Amino acid sequence: MKQRELIVIGGGPAGMAAALSARNSGVKDILLLERDQYLGGILNQCVHTGFGLQYFKEQLTGPEYAVRFSRETVKTKGIEVSLRTFAVKLTPAKEVTYLKPDKLETVRAKAIIMATGCRERTREMVHLSGTRPAGVFSAGLAQKLINIEGFLPGKAVVIVGSGDIGLIMARRFILEGAQVKAIIEARASSRGLVRNMVQCVRDFDIPVHYLHRIARINGRDRVESVDVVKTDETGRAVEGSSFNLACDTVLMSVGLVPENELLEMAGAKLDPVTNAVAAAAPFATSLPGIFACGNAFKVYDVVDSVTRDSDSCGLMAAKYLGKA
C-alpha cells in the first residue's frame, strides 16, 4: 500500500487553504483529492461578487477568489492534485480508497484532512407535499445550470427558504429575464445575510412571505403552481390563509448539510442533528490524525472565514505530523 504524509479530501476553498498551510508549515508530501475536474469547489458557480472582502480586502467573484488559491495549489511542489477523483472509503487507520477514471487505489496517510464541503437540504428532507414534477431544483443546482452550463431552469420561480444561495439566485433569475414570484420563509425573519436581503431581494422588489410555507406543489409533468399557507408560531397552518401562486419552478434554499458520510463510515462522531463534526476542539475529529475543515466541519456563511479557519486546520495537521 502506498504511503503519504498528508491526504486532503476535497479541493474547494477549505481543502486548498488547508493543503497550502500544511505545506507552508513544512509538510512535504501532500495528496489533494478533488472529485470535480476543477479545483475551487462550489466557488466556480458563484459568479456574483462579495468574496474576499475580509481576506483580501477586495471585492472578488467566486471564480476569482478560487483561482488565487488554485494557481498556488497547482504550482506548489509537494502538493499533488488528483482531479476527477472520488474517495469511497476511509478507515480509522487513515487509509483512503478512491476511484478515478483509470484506477482504484488505497493509500495510507499519516494524517488526513477532510474538506468535503456540504450538500443542500432537499425538498424531500423538508417533506414538501404535492406532486413530483420537473422544475423542483435545489438553489445550487439551478445556479450551476445557469452559471456553468448556460441554461435557464425556469421562467416563473418561487423560492422556498431565504438561505443565501436562494437570495442570490432570486437576483440571478431576474437578471436572466425570469420572474421571481415570491420567497416563502417558514421563520419570522430571513436566514440570509443582510447584504443579500438588501442587494438581491429588496432592490428587486421581490415579495417575501415570512411565517408561510408551501402546502403543496401542483403539476403533473412540470411545476404549474404552489399552494402557500400562513403558519402560526407552532408551525401549524392558519385556516383560510391558503393562496395559490402560478409558477413553473420551485427552488429549495432550506439549509446545508455537511457531507460527512466518509467520516461516518470511519466511525467518527457526528452531530446527529446537523451532521457536522462533533469534536472536542476545532478542526479535530474524534479519530486521531483525522482533521476536518470548511463546511464539512460546520456550515459557514462566508468563504473568507473558511479560508482563515482551514489555514489553522492545515497548521494543526502539520503539528500533528511533527512539523511547524
E-only strand ranges, 172-315? 179-185, 208-210, 212-218, 225-230, 243-246, 249-252, 256-258, 290-292
Residue ranges in 63-102 that form contacts with other proteins under rule CB under 8 A: 63-64, 67, 70-71, 74-75, 81-86, 88-89, 97, 99-102
Around 231, how many Cα atoms within 13 Å sit in the side-chain half-sphere? 18
Separation of alpha carbons 226 and 230, rounded Å = 13
| Total residues at interface with other proteins (CB under 8 A) | 69
Stretch of 49-57, 61-69, 289-297, 308-316 contacting other proteins, by CB under 8 A: 61-69
Applying CB under 8 A, among 220, 236, 240, 280 the residue interacting with other proteins is 220
Q: Of 100 and 319, which CB lies nearer to other proteins in the complex structure?
A: 100
Please give the biggest Cα pair distance in the chain: 66
Task: Report the residue from 26, 54, 59, 151 that binds other proteins according to the rule CB under 8 A.
Answer: 151
Q: Out of 153, 163, 166, 294, which residue is the one contacting other proteins (CB under 8 A)?
A: 153
258: its cell numbers: 455537511
Choice between 24 and 61, CB closer to other proteins:
61
Q: Which stretch binds other proteins (CB under 8 A): 39-47, 192-200, 298-306, 308-316?
A: 39-47
Checking DSSP bridges between strand 243-246 and strand 136-138, what pairing results, if any?
A: unpaired
CA 167/CA 18 separation, integer angstroms: 29
Residues 58, 203, 232, 264: which binds other proteins (CB under 8 A)? 264
For position 216 contacting other proteins by CB under 8 A, the verdict is yes
Distance CA 165, CA 251 (A): 10
Of 195 and 222, the one with the shorter C-beta distance to other proteins is 222
Contact flag: residue 131 with other proteins (CB under 8 A)? yes
- CB 300, CB 294: distance < 8 Å: yes
| Smallest distance, other proteins to C-beta of residue 42, A | 10
| Residue closer to other proteins (CB basis): 47 or 299 | 47
* Binds other proteins by CB under 8 A, chosen from 25, 92, 110, 145: 145
CB-wise, 29 or 176, nearer to other proteins? 176
CB of 211 to other proteins, least distance (A): 17
When asked if residue 185 is in the footprint of other proteins (CB under 8 A), the reply is no
Cell numbers standing for residue 90? 476511509
- Contact flag: residue 110 with other proteins (CB under 8 A): no
Q: Cβ distance 77 to 54 under 8 Å?
A: no
Pairing between β-strand 118-120 and β-strand 249-252 as defined by DSSP bridges: unpaired
User: Is residue 39 part of the contact set for other proteins (CB under 8 A)?
Assistant: yes
The Cα 124–Cα 231 span in angstroms is 20
Q: CA distances (Å), 130 to each of 69, 176, 229, 290, 311, in order? A: 44, 28, 14, 43, 45
Report the phi/psi class of residue 151: left, alpha or beta, with left for phi > 0 and alpha for psi in -120 to 50. beta
- The one-letter amino acid at 21: S
Q: Are 200 and 174 in contact (CB under 8 A)?
A: no
Sign of the CA dihedral running 157, 160, 161, 164: negative
Interacting positions 6-35 with other proteins (CB under 8 A): 34-35
Could you list the residues that contact other proteins (CB under 8 A)?
Answer: 34-35, 37-39, 44, 47, 61, 63-64, 67, 70-71, 74-75, 81-86, 88-89, 97, 99-104, 119-120, 122-125, 127, 129-134, 138, 140-141, 144-155, 175-177, 216, 220-222, 248-249, 261, 264
